[in-house]
Structure 1
Amino acid sequence: MATQSETKMSDLAQPVHQSLSQYRVQQIQAVLTLLDEGNTVPFIARYRKERTGSLDEVAIRDIEDEAHRLTKLNQRRAEVLKIIQEQGKLTPALQQSLAHATVLQQVEDLYLPYKQKRRTKATIAREKGLAPLANWLLHFPASGLAAKARTFVDPAKELPDEAAVWDGVHEILAETFSEQAAFREWIRRYTWQHGELISKLKRGAADNDEQQVYATYYDFQQALKQLPPYRILALNRGEREKILTVSINVDSASILQYGHFRLVGQHKGPAVTKVEDAFADAYKRFLGPAIERELRRQLTDKASAHAIQVFGNNLYHLLMQAPLKGKVVMGFDPAYRTGCKLAIMDPNGRFLAKQVIYPHKPANAQKRAAAAPEFKKLLEKYHVEMIAIGNGTASRESEEFVSDILKTLDHPVYYVLVNEAGASVYSASANARAEFADFHVEERSAVSIGRRLQDPLAELIKIDPKAVGVGQYQHDVPEKALDEQLDRVVETAVNQVGVNVNTASPELLTHISGLTATTAQNIVTYRNENGAFNNRKDLQQVPRLGPKAYQQAVGFLRIIGGTEPLDNTDIHPESYPAARQLLGALDEQHGIGTPKLQQQLAQLNQQQWAERLQVGAATLADILDGLKKPGRDLRETMPAPLLRQDVLTMADLKPGMELQGTVRNVVDFGAFVDIGVKQDGLVHISQLADHYVGDPSTVVTIGDVVTVWVLSVDENRQRIQLTMRADHHD
């Protein structure tokens, strides 16, 4: 078993710095030491800024991931060294090569000749004693090949003649060449630099692609280096669905010339042809296919990592959408035959009432006639201020229905189209059944849709992140890697916002730094049994919430209206003495967050006060922010939902029309924008800005409210092309 010192990530600070030179080695050392001590990434990013130089969650995770990669590399290197050493074949040169390997592929290349393999033709040839002849041939003798080969002829060994002998030598040489690490590395690099990925429509597969989803790739080729990630995943899917054949094409003549240069050089004579033939065969049978598999796997891994990053970035901005606080909201889950489900929530998300109305066909005329009065009655009885309409089936008709009624009211009520992706997943979950046991699934969906408008973060974390519909090719990437990334995104978002510990659900609390599903549930159970928490210290009474978990979690848990005003800030209790000393010196009696205190704090000499309070400058800055704005919510700086009272149809859209819309999804080739019609419009990457855009996420994020102009409308194909370019009319 490895000792604790051997497994410390902090021992890897220098190697990590070699890969991540943008961070100082002292920062890396601090991050890895803090991780070794059991601190979470959100805690380190928020409360250990002095030690890390104010690195954010992304930087800390980069460092953590690189340390894990190096740990795996070192473990594999040690395994390979041990195996080769046990074989008695470890030379100083090989040991040095392994020591200098910086990626796993280099270690595997060096290990290949020593790897236990199935019995090959080359293995059999060696068993027949032909290895000395193969070695002799590589010295390029000027003559005597036939005579030398005859000495190895032995019918008892199934070597009846010279041809059989040379066949065996050929196999030994071909396998030997294919296992040369230097050859593999050069061919891999050359293929990457000069190779092309080619795809063709598989013979007889046209009928399998009726909608011609893959028509672009029926006769396609592009340089490996230039392939965008989404195209790689599309090609992989087409190949997996047996519609496309995909391969790498590269100039083999240059590779064979390289083999001649490395193996033959200036040598001449009868051995040259045999060596060249063996190398050509090694490339055709072993090296070429192996390198193609490796490069395609690397392309796929890179494309998957990019797709996962895009999904994670989209999810983060979806979760961080501005909440609509202090409003009575109606959730509206549209449908045709089964009726539209309505659910009303008070400003805190507490369920008030539900109803089903039938405003659309095929409901009979009587039900349709009753729908509007019932709907209007609910609006007036509960003083509904906002309506959240799900954007699924029957949403356009429901939007028209709602808009027509809002025009008859004598006070303003607005509606918002809400992305309902995953609402049905939540509605059928055990958590939803526990909260609303006597509800139908669709009625729970209406509650979820309404709450998504009130607090997107608190509601969306209740469902599998993969169900929220804000990625691309999410079903084509490794599920484990996707889950890990999305878990990180949710953790970052939840902890950046913080939660009200007296109202937060177990699902929300589970994502708080330092908490587990068990301790999160224990907090809720303790709250239900003992009443609301009055201060953060009370959390120390929660079963199984130990000192370390308390330290990691408490700063992210807010208590509103408790006995300690500082508990409604993101100031950590370990900084309370400094905060109180500061407040005492200012003689502020009116409480934190007042305009007078904000003015006083703005005039402080922070450097002097940091020294006086014996805290770091970054910690003091966070203390000041907390005192200025208790209960602040980072999401309040995000774009507010786009409120509507009237409705558009695709028939209303005309080229050149200017509209406002909400970004619903960001992908490699552009962004999809909800402009208030049933179908989201596409702003292609070339139409996002007046300048070149390489990555759409640098221009727009989910939830952004943007101004767009209509370029074209294709009602038959349900496609809307939009532009954000101000110069679109030039």
Structure 2
Amino acid sequence: REWVRKYTLDNGLLESKQKRGAEDKDQQRVYQLYYDFSQQIKRVRNHQVLALNRGEKENVLSVNVRVDVAAIERYLKFRLVGSRTGAAADVLTAAANDAYKRFIAPAIEREIRKSLTDVAATDAIKVFGKNLYHLLMGAPLRGRVVLGFDPGIRTGSKLAVVDENGRFLEKAVIYPHKAAKYDPQGAKKVIIGLVKKYGVSLVAIGNGTASRESQTFIADIIKTDLPTLQYVVVNESGASVYSASDVARAEFPDLHVEERSAISIARRLQDPMAELIKIDPQAVGVGQYQHDLPTKELDAELNAVLETAVNQVGVNLNTASPQLLEHIAGLTKTTAANIVTYRDENGPFTTRTELKKVPKLGPKAFEQAAGFLRIPDGKNVLDNTDIHPESYGLASTLLKETGSQPGPSSANVLQALANPAEAERLQVGLPTLTDVIESLTHPGRDLRDGTEGAILRTDVLSVKDLKPGMQLQGTVRNVVDFGAFVDIGVHEDGLVHIKNMVKTDRKTRHIETVNPYNYVAVGDIVTVWVKEVDVQRARIGLSMVPIVAD
């Protein structure tokens, strides 16, 4: 059995065919690549395994393992009877062949398929986690009043204005697209009115149904009436899930689902982490085949990613939602809710130590959480740093001895103290001293500020405008085993296949073989060239390697 398993793994093929009479969903023939697919088992890729599994589950594909049965039968005969002949030898050979065909071969095929699926699922979970992390760590767009635009046709497009801090100001419904209540002039008047009333400088347009038409509508208004206005296409995956959730109902009990969605789209642009944290990670659309993955393992990975991202950035104790707070180390769903209740009843926190008054938040929880909770306008400037209260004495000593104040202006003076001799004098570890000095020179720092923000647009591009060789800028929306999907401002994201990421003569099979730290990440702004366009199937092939147009 061990020999047969190894021979099958080394020499077998994983094959698939389209089932007779089976129809591919959405008429887009999403499994077309696997209608007549054959690959060596040891060379099959993880995303191919997951695609084959889903196609089989949806009764579009039939999948099987094929191996040279005659070679296996020759081996079995050699092991059992060798060169002997006669009736007994024939019986043993026939029994072995029958056992292989009816029992061993199907069992080994199941083992191989399960092993391939387990490896593929583990890899997909890691990919999902990395993508979610980069999505959460997207650069916030601060200081802009934003108009959220949730496109729709039959029921109209929903609008919501939020101020610089994400506070909801006003809502509206317009009908700019051809439908029963088609009113483009009225829609234009509403947009202009809201922009002028609240000083809106940016429109966040969801990328769902009618997004293409909505972009054209806003671009025309910018061209004729509001030349300083800009727009951004926002990935609205999960916005509808949030809008119908208990969290959204508690936050906006008087609004309809669609109106909450427009608020979510606007806020997602202002602070991706604060808004996305309210949504089930599986609904944000940055993985591959996530609905086919083991739920327990996927949840564990995503929860770890959420906690890592939130704690690396830290949160504003006086504005953070319960959903954001519960991912802070040391806090639970209950203590996060109690913090918000205490804040509502007693006003904003003025010091970190005030947290000790929150019900059920004990000394251990305070010790774990305090360093990740910021108070920008508190009594103590150190409360707006990631310095833990246990190190406030050290921070105060450094400031007093150097006559400095927290901020970049003190960087040179303070950083001169980051050496082993000073650490020994102050009786602290050098890493602790270095971290405290770094925090003092950057109070209120946010790791996300160093990343590139969204691409702001004023005009619109159609898939029909795309030509091979055209150079564009885009935002990476998803990274998978075989490449990256990039938003270039048309309705469909384009695919940069891994072979089109860097110039190489060798065959690259997985994205991490290009760069062990990932060549691109979700949210990156990249320059791409159009490689090919299939308008009928809505497929766009892109390249990060320059292409010269014919």
TM-score > 0.5 by shorter chain? yes
Superposed, which structure 2 residues align to 1:256-271 within 5 Å?
none
- Aligned counterparts of 1:672 and 1:514: Cα–Cα separation in 2: 36
Superposed, which structure 2 residues align to 1:200-599 within 5 Å?
200-202=17-19, 204-207=20-23, 211-252=28-69, 255=72, 279-364=96-181, 367-409=183-225, 412-588=228-404, 591-595=405-409, 597-599=410-412
Residue pair 1:569, 1:630 contacting (<8 A) in 2 also: yes
**Measured at CA, do residues 352 and 215 of structure 1 come closer, stay the same or move farther in structure 2, by a change above 3 Å?**
closer
**Measured at CA, do residues 655 and 282 of structure 1 come closer, stay the same or move farther in structure 2, by a change above 3 Å?**
closer
The DSSP-based 3-state class of the residue aligned with 1:655 is coil
Q: CA deviation at 1:694?
A: 4.1
Q: CA deviation at 1:685?
A: 2.0
- Aligned counterparts of 1:553 and 1:539: Cα–Cα separation in 2: 10
Determine which structure has the larger helix proportion and give its number. 1
**Measured at CA, do residues 625 and 264 of structure 1 come closer, stay the same or move farther in structure 2, by a change above 3 Å?**
farther
The DSSP-based 3-state class of the residue aligned with 1:420 is coil
- Aligned counterparts of 1:712 and 1:472: Cα–Cα separation in 2: 23
Which residue matches 1:654?
A: 467
Q: CA deviation at 1:212?
A: 3.8
Which residue matches 2:489?
A: 676
- Aligned counterparts of 2:417 and 2:248: Cα–Cα separation in 1: 49
- From 525, 528, 546, the counterpart of 1:726: 546
Superposed, which structure 2 residues align to 1:129-168 within 5 Å?
none
The DSSP-based 3-state class of the residue aligned with 2:377 is coil
Counterpart of 2:483, as a letter, is G
Q: CA deviation at 1:211?
A: 4.8
- Aligned counterparts of 1:583 and 1:191: Cα–Cα separation in 2: 69
Counterpart of 2:159, as a letter, is L
- Aligned counterparts of 2:204 and 2:21: Cα–Cα separation in 1: 44
1:686 aligns with 2:499: yes
Residue pair 2:150, 2:265 contacting (<8 A) in 1 also: yes
Which residue matches 1:616?
A: 429
Counterpart of 2:123, as a letter, is H
Counterpart of 1:490, as a letter, is L
- Aligned counterparts of 1:714 and 1:244: Cα–Cα separation in 2: 24
1:713 aligns with 2:529: no
- Aligned counterparts of 1:400 and 1:208: Cα–Cα separation in 2: 32
Which residue matches 2:439?
A: 626
**Measured at CA, do residues 277 and 468 of structure 1 come closer, stay the same or move farther in structure 2, by a change above 3 Å?**
same
**Mean Cα displacement is larger for which, 491-500 or 665-674?**
665-674
**Measured at CA, do residues 471 and 413 of structure 1 come closer, stay the same or move farther in structure 2, by a change above 3 Å?**
same
- Aligned counterparts of 1:546 and 1:254: Cα–Cα separation in 2: 69
Residue pair 2:418, 2:433 contacting (<8 A) in 1 also: no
- Aligned counterparts of 1:701 and 1:586: Cα–Cα separation in 2: 41
Residue pair 1:214, 1:238 contacting (<8 A) in 2 also: yes
The DSSP-based 3-state class of the residue aligned with 2:401 is helix
Which residue matches 2:515?
A: none
- Give CA deviations for 1:607-630 in whole Å, capped at 9, x if unaligned: 222222333332222212211101
Q: CA deviation at 1:650?
A: 2.4
Q: CA deviation at 1:452?
A: 0.4
- Aligned counterparts of 2:167 and 2:534: Cα–Cα separation in 1: 43
Which residue matches 2:476?
A: 663
**Measured at CA, do residues 252 and 717 of structure 1 come closer, stay the same or move farther in structure 2, by a change above 3 Å?**
closer
Which is greater in Rg? Answer: 1
**Measured at CA, do residues 211 and 331 of structure 1 come closer, stay the same or move farther in structure 2, by a change above 3 Å?**
closer
Q: Which runs of 5+ in 1 are unaligned?
A: 1-182
- Aligned counterparts of 2:480 and 2:286: Cα–Cα separation in 1: 9
**Measured at CA, do residues 643 and 254 of structure 1 come closer, stay the same or move farther in structure 2, by a change above 3 Å?**
same
CA RMSD of aligned residues (A): 2.5
- Aligned counterparts of 1:316 and 1:599: Cα–Cα separation in 2: 33
- Aligned counterparts of 2:29 and 2:547: Cα–Cα separation in 1: 34
Counterpart of 1:348, as a letter, is N
Which residue matches 1:180?
A: none
Q: CA deviation at 1:514?
A: 1.8
Which residue matches 1:54?
A: none
- Give CA deviations for 1:468-506 in whole Å, capped at 9, x if unaligned: 111221222222222222222211111111111111000
- Aligned counterparts of 2:219 and 2:70: Cα–Cα separation in 1: 69
Q: CA deviation at 1:225?
A: 0.8
**Measured at CA, do residues 306 and 323 of structure 1 come closer, stay the same or move farther in structure 2, by a change above 3 Å?**
same
Residue pair 2:529, 2:547 contacting (<8 A) in 1 also: no
- Aligned counterparts of 2:270 and 2:231: Cα–Cα separation in 1: 12
Counterpart of 1:718, as a letter, is A
Counterpart of 1:311, as a letter, is F
- Aligned counterparts of 1:560 and 1:359: Cα–Cα separation in 2: 42
Counterpart of 1:334, as a letter, is P
- Aligned counterparts of 2:43 and 2:247: Cα–Cα separation in 1: 46
Residue pair 2:231, 2:456 contacting (<8 A) in 1 also: yes
- Aligned counterparts of 1:214 and 1:332: Cα–Cα separation in 2: 34
Q: CA deviation at 1:413?
A: 2.1
- Give CA deviations for 1:362-391 in whole Å, capped at 9, x if unaligned: 2556x3222212211111111112111111
Q: CA deviation at 1:194?
A: 2.2
More RCO (CA 8 Å, sep 6+): 2
Q: CA deviation at 1:200?
A: 2.9
**Mean Cα displacement is larger for which, 430-439 or 446-455?**
430-439
| Identity %, equivalent residues | 59
**Mean Cα displacement is larger for which, 511-520 or 599-608?**
599-608
Residue pair 1:690, 1:727 contacting (<8 A) in 2 also: no
Counterpart of 1:701, as a letter, is A
TM-score of the two chains, using structure 2 as the length reference: 0.92
Q: Which runs of 5+ in 2 are unaligned?
A: 513-517
- Aligned counterparts of 1:286 and 1:337: Cα–Cα separation in 2: 57
Residue pair 2:531, 2:547 contacting (<8 A) in 1 also: no
Counterpart of 1:600, as a letter, is V
- Aligned counterparts of 2:97 and 2:206: Cα–Cα separation in 1: 62
